[in-house]
Amino acid sequence: MSFYTINSLTFSYAGTDKLFQNISFDIEANQHIGLVGPNGCGKTTLVKLMLGILRPQGGEIYLEGNNIKDISLSDVGKKVGYVFQNPDKQLFCPTVLEQMRFSFTYGGCGSAEAINDNTDYYLKAFDLMQYKSLSPMKLSRGEKQRLALASVLSRDVRFLILDEPSTGLDILRKKQLENCLMELKQEGKGYMIISHEAKFLDRYVDRLLKLHAEGVEYA
Amino acid sequence: MKIDPRTRIILVFLISSAAVVIKELIPLLFLLLLTLILCRMFSVHLSGSIKRLRKLLYFFIILALIQSIFTPGEETLIAAGGLKILTTEGLEAGISIIIRMSVIILSALIIASAPAMDVVYGLIAMKLPYEIAFMVLLSIKFLPLFREEFADSIIAVQLAGADLVKIPLRQKLSLYTYVLTPSVIKALNRARLISLSMEARGFRIYPDRTSYCKLSMSRMDYVTITAASAAVLLIISYNFSIIG
């Protein structure tokens, strides 16, 4: 059984032509996939469907064999970590530290010691320690992106979906992201990255999933 | 047929004012019927709007219940001991408030279904200072912006593993407080960015603006306004004839 099974997926936004029609593919839990395609082809929409944020007009999406429409968003979130394309949409806590600890506090997982260690590790890894008592809204675009990445990477999820994770990161911080991706690979965790940076994808993904008007195909 | 935005504004002003003035149930029903006819005429997508407004249904029901219970009356429908809980007059008042709110919301849809810029042009043509007309536009846009920000934050909260159904009430309340403040700030920031981008394009640089859009009222506009005004006046006079 695949981690994700997408079966004859059809979707369109109200009043527009069909974005996808009958697309099907599988993703394994330990796969490292790059999702590519031209602007507006529906990459982020596909991810939102895979997370259960949007509902398809046709076809099914199965997560570990269960239809995504029967799983609550919080249960999807416990299995799949998602870094939003726009970090502003992801950050809602009053401080950086609370944002990092949110999943542990409200998701109810991990001991206090493990939470502290994990939080500190990722705050250091993304150079955010000095901002931990600041409001996420006071951070720059790049810092927000790092916080969004750190808060998702610190969680013990089986699979990650990263929507343009390197946007707004300088060379040093991109290197830090790359280190984290290497760690995820070593831990046997899978991920899917949406990106337009071919070199970045070449280094960190095993397969490319190409999305275009006619459908989807593995390259 | 293209209807002038000023016609929409005048009609909404007429109907919403009438909804406040009319107190009796039957005239209010007539006003609701007139509003529905106008919505149909202006191609308002009623089923979609009603679906979106379904969330307000509980608010309407609570409002109607409070109104029913606290309106005094002679004919008792429900009583507990010697205490009158619901009277015929109270029930009428409750139903009236639901109809009145529906009329106001449906009439607002007549403006909301027009392109936002058309409404601005209409307000400017009605001699409203253009700065204020654009402020109206921004304030109309603020609520959907806030709703979008709030919905995004709720999705982010759930994807971070918080189960909004299962968590205890106290945690749920603190969580909503968490989400509400940044949502307001983000919506305000987006409104501020819109205003900055407008100013960057020369907004308010001169006291007057030249517009390519020249509005002109057609015979259809005048007929619609006259007919709707006559209908509203008839309904109002019927209301006062009932009151006696």
Mutate which: B155, B166, B190, vs A, most A CBs within 10 A: B155
Q: Can you read off the two tokens belonging to residue A32? A: 């490292």
Whether A164 shows a pLDDT value over 70: the answer reads yes
Q: Which chain B residue is nearest to residue A153, measuring alpha carbons?
A: B160
Instruction: Say if the Cβ atoms of A106 and B181 lie within 8 Å.
Output: no
Query: Token pair for residue B80?
Result: 């507990």
> With contacts defined as CB-CB under 8 Å, which chain A residues touch B182?
91-93, 137
Within 38-67 of A, beta carbons closer than 8 Å to B belong to 51, 53
pLDDT of A40 over the 70 cut: yes
B161 and A77 within 8 Å at the Cβ level: the answer is yes
pLDDT more than 90, % of chain A: 48
Percentage of the residues of chain B whose pLDDT score is greater than 70: 98
The overall average pLDDT reported for chain A is 89
pTM listed for this prediction? 0.73
The DSSP-derived string for A125-171 is HTT-GGGTTS-GGGS-HHHHHHHHHHHHHTS--SEEEEESTTTT--H
- The answer to whether B156 contacts A78, with C-beta atoms less than 8 Å apart, is no
pLDDT given for residue B149 in this prediction: 83
Of residues A60 and B91, which shows the higher confidence score? A60
Is the model more confident about A42 or about B90? A42
Q: Residue B126: how many CA atoms within 13 Å on its side-chain side?
A: 16
Within 8 A of B152 by CB-CB distance, chain A residues are 89
* Average model confidence (pLDDT) across chain B: 85
Query: Which of B163, B178, B186 has the CB atom closest to A94's CB atom?
Result: B178
Name the residue among A76, A92, A151 with its Cβ closest to that of B153: A92
Amino acid at position A48, single letter:
K
pLDDT for B140:
76
Within 10 angstroms of residue A39's Cβ, the number of other Cβ atoms is: 6
Report CA-CA distances (Å) from A146 to A35, A160, A167, B183. Answer: 21, 15, 10, 20
**Which value does ipTM take for this structure?**
0.89
A&B contacts, CB < 8 Å: 66
Asked whether the predicted pLDDT for residue B89 surpasses 90, the reply is no
Q: Are strands A32-36 and A190-194 parallel, antiparallel or unpaired?
A: parallel
CA distance A68 to A47: 12
How much is the pLDDT for B91?
Answer: 82
Shortest CB distance from A88 goes to which of B155, B159, B186? B186
Closest chain B residue to A161, measured at CA: B159
Question: Residues B31-68: pLDDT tens digits?
Answer: 999 999 999 888 888 777 777 667 677 777 787 778 77
CB within 8 Å: A75 and B163 = yes
CB B157 within 8 A of CB B120: no
Structure confidence at residue B168 (pLDDT): 83
pLDDT bin (cut points 50, 70, 90) of residue B1 is low
Chain B contact probe: residue of A92, A119, A157 with most B CBs at under 10 A = A92
Q: What is the mean pLDDT of residues A74-101?
A: 91
* Contact criterion met (CB < 8 Å) for A106 and B179: no
Q: What is the mean pLDDT of residues B113-139?
A: 86
Whether A91 has its CB under 8 Å from any CB of chain B: the answer is yes
User: Distance of alpha carbon A70 from its chain centroid, rounded?
Assistant: 21
Q: Would you state the pLDDT for residue B225?
A: 95
The contact set of B with A (CB < 8 A) is 152-153, 155-165, 167, 171, 175, 178-179, 181-183, 185-186
Residue linked to tokens 């570990």: A64
CA of A106, closest CA in chain B: separation in Å? 5
Q: Which residue has the higher pLDDT, A215 or B153?
A: B153
